[in-house]
Structure 1
Amino acid sequence: MSGIVFGEIQLIDLFIIVYSNEIDNAEKLRAEVEACAFSCTNSIKVSSDLPSFENPNIFEFDKGETEERFDTIYLLTKLANNFIWPDENKPEEVKVPGKLKQPPNTKQKRKPIFVADGLIAIDILNSLSRNMPSDVFFCPTPITAIGKSVLAEYLNVHCCDINEVHVWAANDEVFHLEVEKPLVIHDEVDGNSRCDPGMVGKEFLESLNLDPTQMNATWMKKDFVEKVASSASKNPYGCIYKAAIFAKTLRGIWKTRDKKAQISVACNMGVISNGSLGTAKGHPYVLPIIFKGDSWITNEVHFEESAHLKQELKRINAVVKKHHKKVTLLKLFLKGQIT
């Protein structure tokens, strides 16, 4: 609202969507935001039209409130059915003799950005919309932050000192992580390290009183991933973190839309796969990607030849396909029922 995300010349219409019993709190938030008089505020509205899944990344009809889950799916389906991509091949307007010449349309066309709270939503929106391109749907993931937090605590450093974390995931339970070497950005790694090549420097390892069995590739592939999964299952981040990562996601995508700046942004993001690295095209994953311009590509640097990653992707693919099949069945069930 202050111009940090979209720039100072954009006007923002903000819709605060909450449960009906939270309307009063949302109205107070609306009043507080309006009182801030942010320069990019156009309008702020409060609504309770869209509920959410308990876990936005996993279809679980056999758990929780079935009626509430149905309402969520119904509303998402209604949204998806109303998403229509403009026909770029539509013939130009026929010129009529005597009709005043209209000035050319100089409005800049921008590809839309749909950011949801989980993989279920982007899967439904992509699968049930009529002709929307698959590269406009996104959802942020907390696994990156959790991975850095777990590793930082284990190595007794700050999260900002941990190198880049790359995530491939079917959901918050089935995923794989890779951390670029050295694990700690400013660590000095040489040939004398007793760890796997390039992972942790000898002096740093000794300062932690760790032996090589407590910090090696095997530990990273098994124990580290298990620690991250355990932390993720506790859902350690609340609404403030989710709002912050949502804004960060929008800002990261939007920055790359400036063709003059030619900026690229690398991150882990929930997307509809383009089929790279052996993933199932058209299915939802969390993948390491690079935003550039109006599109994105998978970040395959360092990992395209990893035998372990390929094996992990087979495990992830199986879960993704099984999960996506439920959406396919949903599409068949709702065909002709919702318009």
Structure 2
Amino acid sequence: MSGLVFGDNVFIDLQLLVYSDKVAPAETLKCELEKCAFSNTNSIQVITNLPRPKDADVFCVMSDFENPNYFDIDGMENETQFDTMYLLIKFANHLVWNDDDEVNSQKNKTKPIFVTDGLLAMNILFSLSKNLPKDLFFCLSPIEVIAKSVLGDHLNVRFNQINEVRVWAANDRVFHVEVEKPIIITDSVGDGSNTQCDRKIISKATLQSSKLDYTQFNSTWMRKEFIEKVASYAARNPYGCIYKAAEFAKSLKQIWKARTGGTKVCSNMGVISDGSIGTAKGYPYVLPIIFNGNTWEVNKSYEDNSYLKQEMKRINKAAEEEHQKVLNLLFIS
């Protein structure tokens, strides 16, 4: 809204899609947004008619699912979550990609995108939409942020001192994380020949300054205790509205930087898989991806990692189970 996401010279027309009985509170929100007087806001409207893909450049879907990354059939008995599911299904059934849309996207060189707050909403939209290309769908994931936070706390360093994180996930319960070496960006690890530490992971001096020893931080810890800690934090549902808003802004900024800046951008984001690195094509995953213009591809820097290949079997199984649970519900609906 402030212009930091799409650039300083882009004006935003915002449409708030709500149920017809939610127009009044939506109008209140509209007034609050208008009072903020964001310099790049052109107009704000409240709508109840379902849009088509050609009606906007960006579709942001913020659901009311208790956990937007994990399907819980029991949770659907909650009225709020049931309403969310119903609206998503209606919206998805209205999404049709025509030949004219493909021609227009090539002509304008800007495809519309659908960004959701989690894998569940993205899965529903893609599964029920008609002919929409899978590379239009993206979703947020908390795993990268949680992983850096866990490492920062464990090593007693600031969040931004942790090196790049790569995430492969079926949801926020079944996932794998790799961190670029050295773990701390400014660390001097050498070749690892003069230390007990795993080669190139962390220096002896850094371990000592963190008041840790080799048994408290090594590659085995990274594969077991570290993953367990990240899963534990994710299970606490860090999905408040402020978090979602921040992650939406971050994700959109990454996508638009690649689209308009002419540079490649690396990110961990939920996508519909293209089948790379052994994933199931057409299924939703969180993957390390590289944006380049209007397109993206999976980061394959760990493609030959034997441990990742082993973990992908577990992740694939969970991704297929999650997808099937959603399809079963949609079929019943």
TM-score by length of 2: 0.87
Matching of residue 211 in structure 1 with residue 213 in structure 2:
yes
Asked if structure 2 preserves the Cα contact closer than 8 Å seen for 1:256 and 1:264, the reply is yes
Matching of residue 273 in structure 1 with residue 256 in structure 2:
no
Give the CA deviation at 1:240: 1.4
**What is the match of residue 120 of structure 2?**
120
Give the CA deviation at 1:242: 1.3
Asked if structure 2 preserves the Cα contact closer than 8 Å seen for 1:264 and 1:291, the reply is yes
Give the CA deviation at 1:7: 2.2
Asked if structure 2 preserves the Cα contact closer than 8 Å seen for 1:19 and 1:51, the reply is no
**What is the match of residue 241 of structure 1?**
243
Amino acid corresponding to residue 319 of structure 1 in structure 2: A
**What is the match of residue 102 of structure 1?**
none
- CA change 1:298–1:38 in 2 (3 A) is same
Matching of residue 56 in structure 1 with residue 58 in structure 2:
no
Give the CA deviation at 1:256: 1.2
Alignment root-mean-square deviation, CA? 2.7
Distance (Å, rounded) in 2 between the aligned partners of 1:237 and 1:120: 14
Amino acid corresponding to residue 121 of structure 2 in structure 1: A
Matching of residue 327 in structure 1 with residue 323 in structure 2:
no
Amino acid corresponding to residue 265 of structure 1 in structure 2: V
Give the CA deviation at 1:329: 2.7
**Number of residues of Structure 1 aligned to a counterpart in Structure 2:** 317
- CA change 1:280–1:211 in 2 (3 A) is same
Amino acid corresponding to residue 235 of structure 2 in structure 1: S
Distance (Å, rounded) in 2 between the aligned partners of 1:70 and 1:238: 19
1:125-165 per-residue CA deviation (whole Å, 9 max, x = no partner) reads 11111110001111111111110001001000000000011
**What is the match of residue 172 of structure 2?**
172
Distance (Å, rounded) in 1 between the aligned partners of 2:274 and 2:220: 30
SS state at 1:270 partner: strand
Asked if structure 1 preserves the Cα contact closer than 8 Å seen for 2:167 and 2:178, the reply is yes
Moved more, 228-237 or 165-174: 228-237
TM-score by length of 1: 0.85
SS state at 2:69 partner: coil
**What is the match of residue 94 of structure 1?**
none
Identity of aligned pairs, percent?
56
- CA change 1:162–1:20 in 2 (3 A) is farther
- CA change 1:39–1:205 in 2 (3 A) is same
- CA change 1:221–1:51 in 2 (3 A) is closer
Distance (Å, rounded) in 2 between the aligned partners of 1:15 and 1:177: 37
Asked if structure 2 preserves the Cα contact closer than 8 Å seen for 1:171 and 1:286, the reply is yes
| Runs of 5+ consecutive residues of structure 2 not aligned to the other structure | 50-61
| Runs of 5+ consecutive residues of structure 1 not aligned to the other structure | 92-105, 335-339
- CA change 1:34–1:216 in 2 (3 A) is same
